Every structure is written in structure tokens, then in C-alpha cells.
Amino acid sequence: MRKRTIENMTVRGRRVLVRVDFNVPIADGAIGDDTRIRAALPTIRTILANGGKAILMSHLGRPKGKPDPAFTLRPVADRLKELLGAPVHFADHATGPTDPASRQAIDVLNEGEVLVLENTRFHPGETKNDPDLAGELAAFAELYVNDAFGTCHRAHASTEGVAHRVKEAGMGLLLDKEIEYLSKLLDSPEPPYVAVLGGAKVSDKIGVIQNLLDQVDALLIGGAMSYTFLKALGHETGASRVEADRLDDAKALYEQAGGKIRLPVDHITASAFDNEAPRRIVSGAIPKGEMGLDIGPETIGEYARAIGEARTIVWNGPMGVFEMSNFAAGTFAVAKALAGATAHGALTVVGGGDSVAAVSQAGYENLVSHVSTGGGAMLEFLEGKILPGIAALSDR
């Protein structure tokens, strides 16, 4: 089956409803980071260049199903106008994406122009995947395009329901690229294949570990989740963060992995969760009262070596509390090792909100093969789940 993307859909003179991910950080009307707006530009530009009319919709924050001026998309529309250099209108009204003002604004929209609808979550039907809302949205356009990978794991009216109700539906360029790279991690990846997993909780990542276990040659574990594994295997973890209710799961996974799971052999510890607390390098057992806040130098060396020898690497989850500069070394070293592997021709993919922030903080975001825009969506994709927003584009 030929995949349908915005590049092979006929858009000239037609209204194209695009689900984008404009869920950017905003404080007092000021956008903190416009990466997600920039990520949507290729699809928008393709529509405009081919003579289409682009109607954009997105959620922003969690406005609880009713209009809330704190979550208006107006500042996003303003920023988009600056970035795009083409006419960008904002459907100016209070009640949400399907306000009568939206209909009027669509009626007067010209080819080569953009209309940004108000926050989809101003409508209570959005997160409930309400068929009436999906139908109203679908009536806005002839074509529907989903380019919001980060929300594809949610079956909402603007990501799933609407796709079933339009005449034609397809993928935006960002979504297409995400699927292309993430599929490579599941479908015959070139060995050696290494997964690096860290972050806050084992429970978030059990599904991914299970699904990747068969394929990978090694799973390098860091971050707080490593302490749940270490404790489950009978090691002293001191005051480190451990998920007590996941010890059995961690032990079972470790045994199932048959030697593929590698855990830190040393740690940077402190007696308080504080950047200024005195640090210690601890090998093996972590003393009482001390908590592991980063992987240690020996572990960094081992993990960097494994990454350097791999041909395919996926990374999700920081190796330590990288938000504190004194506990960021392990995370930044992994970022550097990925960049090095990329330079030698390996396929490298990074995902997860915090991991992506760490990679760009370290200055490596352009030195890896792919930085995924999806946190939860990427994890579910790697768990082998069918994402409803993607499935809806083909089962119609």
C-alpha cells in the first residue's frame, strides 16, 4: 500500500485541516521554546507552495475542556506568522475550535494562507474523542493531515475521530519522518544494536524493555530506574530512588534478558537531592543515607564503549539528575557518545522530553540521526503498539 503523505495529496485550491503539535511551553503569553512550531513548518510550507489553504489545530496545555485565556493559541499564531512569512489568521473567538467564527474565517481563507484554530482542548469533546466534535472538525476541510506525532498515542477527536470522517486523510512530513526512523528501530535494525534507557521510573519503560529485548544486543540502564534493578538483585542502594512495587518486575525482566541488561557499576552519590551537596564516587554498594544521582566514571567508560561499537542506538531517559550541573556528566557523556557513533555512520535516535532537552543542552541535537518529538508516543511505538492517530489514517 502506498503511504499517503502531504507530498502526494492534491491540495491545490483545497482546504487542508492539519493536526499539528503546538503544545509549546508558554508563561504569561511568552513562548519559551518554539521548536515544535518550527517542526511543523515543512508541512505547512508544502501546502502553501502547492496552492492549498492550511487550517491548523492543536491542543495547548490542559485547559480542562473549557475556554481558558491562559491557554490560548494566539501567541503561537503570532510566532508562526514571524517564522512563516505568509498570511496567518487566528480564528478569534472564545469558545474553542468549532466556534461559528472559525467557520466564517475558513470561508474567507485564500489559497496560500493559514488559519490557526483555537485550542482543541477548549472543547470537552476533544479528549473524549466525541464523534460530534470530530464531525464538526471534519466539515471544515476536504483533506485531513496529521503531523502531530507527539499526540498520536491518544485517540482524541482531533487526532483520531476526525480522520475517519474526512474524504481523504494522510501524514504530514514530520509524522512521516518519525515513523520512518522509529520503524528502523523495530524492523531489522543493523547490529550491534544498543538501547540506552534511563530516567525516572522503570514502570514507564517496562513495555519498551520487553519489546526491545529480543532485538537488541545490549540494554544499558542508567538513571533512577537502575536503582530499582540493583535493589531487586540484592544490592544496597542507600537512599536512592527505588520503586518498591516494581522490584519483582525488575528482577523478572533482568532474568528474562539473559545477560543483555547492563547496570551501572559505579555512581555519583550525595546525601541530599541538592546540586551543592558534597559528591562521592561509589563503586558497588551505596552507603546508607547516600543517594545515587548519576552514573559514575567507570560506567560512563563502559557505556560509551558499547555505544561506540554499535551500529544502531536508541536512547530514552537521562542517566542522572542532569538538571543539576553536578550530576549531568553521565547524561552528557552518553549524548557525546551518540554523536560520535553518528559520525561513524551509526543510526542514532533520541526521544523523551527530558532526554531531548539534555541533548540540546549539550549541543548535540544536530549530531544524531533523529531527535523524536514524541515522548509517550515514541515509547508506545517502541513497545510495538499501534498508535491510534496513525492507524486512523489508513483504516478508513
Q: How far is the CB of 363 from ligand ADP (least distance, A)?
A: 17
Q: How far is the CB of 200 from ligand ADP (least distance, A)?
A: 4
**Nearer to ligand ADP (CB atom), residue 142 or residue 290:** 290
E strand map for 23-95: 26-27, 30-31, 53-57, 88-90
Residue matched to cell numbers 529485548: 213
Stretch of 20-28, 247-255, 318-326, 354-362 contacting Mg ion, by CB under 5 A: 354-362
Partnered with residue 107 across adjacent β-strands are none
Stretch of 2-10, 118-126, 149-157, 350-358 contacting Mg ion, by CB under 5 A: 350-358
238 binds ligand ADP (CB under 6 A): no
Partner whose binding site includes residue 323, from Mg ion, ligand ADP, none (CB under 5 to 8 Å by kind): ligand ADP
Q: Is the preceding omega at residue 192 within 30 degrees of 0, hence cis?
A: yes
**Nearer to ligand ADP (CB atom), residue 176 or residue 294:** 294
For residues 353, 267, 306, 243, the Cα torsion angle rounded to the nearest 10 degrees is -50
E strand map for the chain: 15-19, 26-27, 30-31, 53-57, 88-90, 114-116, 143-146, 168-171, 193-197, 218-221, 261-262, 266-270, 280-283, 291-295, 312-316, 347-351, 370-371
**Binding residues with ligand ADP: total (CB under 6 A):** 19
353 binds Mg ion (CB under 5 A): yes
266 binds Mg ion (CB under 5 A): no
Cβ(224)–Cβ(241) below 8 Å: yes
Cβ(111)–Cβ(47) below 8 Å: no
204 binds ligand ADP (CB under 6 A): yes
63 binds ligand ADP (CB under 6 A): no
354 binds Mg ion (CB under 5 A): yes
393 binds ligand ADP (CB under 6 A): no
299 binds ligand ADP (CB under 6 A): no
Of positions 296, 320, 388, 389, contacts ligand ADP by CB under 6 A: 320
Nearest-CA neighbor of 179 among 392, 394, 382, 395? 382
Whether 96 is catalytic is no
Partner whose binding site includes residue 152, from ligand ADP, Mg ion, none (CB under 5 to 8 Å by kind): none
**Nearer to ligand ADP (CB atom), residue 146 or residue 316:** 316
Whether 36 is catalytic is yes
Cβ(172)–Cβ(18) below 8 Å: yes
Q: How far is the CB of 199 from ligand ADP (least distance, A)?
A: 2
Q: Of residues 36, 53, 79, 246, which has the active-site annotation? A: 36
Specify the amino acid at residue 41: L
Cβ(297)–Cβ(242) below 8 Å: no
Q: How far is the CB of 334 from Mg ion (least distance, A)?
A: 16
Catalytic center residues? 36, 201, 353, 376
